């Protein structure tokens, strides 16, 4: 059982996933810091000096002065300002992941295209090693290079 576990951990996919999780967590902290420390203060200033992280709805009816006061007293509150910060953080992380996936897919497509050529007779796309066209069944000349 120990050998099976060692083989499982030593697989490249598991190690790649572990590295991705660690980098993702660090990236998430950076984006959270960016949102809370750089993006939200100017937005709050534009909206009249609002600090989104301290926005809350008091459910107790005791009208605490601040979120810190409500939390100190243990009052039930809905912290919708933190939700706004988290939503903006999520959108930024999702956009960065989108850009990374788009770049990776573009590279994969370019690599796949480099391994193909076109038939000089019917212009079908073929693997570069093909000697006969799968579209028109023509025998391809030996000098037909990737187009």
Per residue in 85-104, pLDDT (tens digit) is 889 888 888 888 888 888 88
State the burial class of residue 35 (Cβ atoms within 10 Å of its Cβ: 0-12, 13-18, 19+). Answer: buried
E strands present in the chain: 57-58, 77-78, 116-118, 125-127
pLDDT-derived band at 54, boundaries 50, 70, 90: confident
Report, as an integer, the average pLDDT of 13-23: 84
pLDDT over 90, % of the chain: 19
pLDDT at 144 over 50: no
Report, as an integer, the average pLDDT of 102-123: 82
128 contacts 146 by C-beta, under 8 angstroms: yes
- Taking all residues of the chain, what is their mean pLDDT, rounded to a whole number? 84
Per residue in 60-70, pLDDT (tens digit) is 999 999 999 99
Q: What is the pLDDT of residue 146?
A: 43
pLDDT at 72 over 90: yes
pLDDT at 147 over 50: no
Report, as an integer, the average pLDDT of 106-114: 77
Helix 12-34 to helix 2-10 angle (10° resolution) is 60
pLDDT-derived band at 143, boundaries 50, 70, 90: low
Rg, C-alpha atoms of the chain: 28
5 or 29, higher pLDDT = 29
């Amino acid at each position: 059982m120990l050998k099976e576990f060692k083989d499982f951990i030593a697989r490249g996919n598991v190690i790649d996933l572990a590295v991705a999780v660690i980098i993702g967590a660090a990236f998430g902290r950076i984006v959270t810091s960016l949102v809370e420390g750089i993006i939200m203060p100017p937005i709050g200033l534009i909206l009249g000096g609002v600090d989104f992280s301290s926005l809350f709805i008091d459910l107790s009816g005791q009208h605490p002065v601040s979120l810190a006061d409500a939390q100190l007293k243990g009052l039930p509150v809905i912290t919708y300002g933190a939700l706004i910060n988290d939503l903006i953080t999520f959108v930024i992380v999702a956009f960065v992941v989108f850009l990374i996936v788009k770049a990776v897919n573009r590279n994969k497509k370019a690599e796949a295209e480099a391994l193909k050529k076109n038939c000089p007779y019917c212009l079908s796309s073929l693997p570069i090693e093909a000697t006969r066209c799968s579209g028109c069944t023509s025998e391809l000349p030996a000098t037909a290079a990737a187009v």
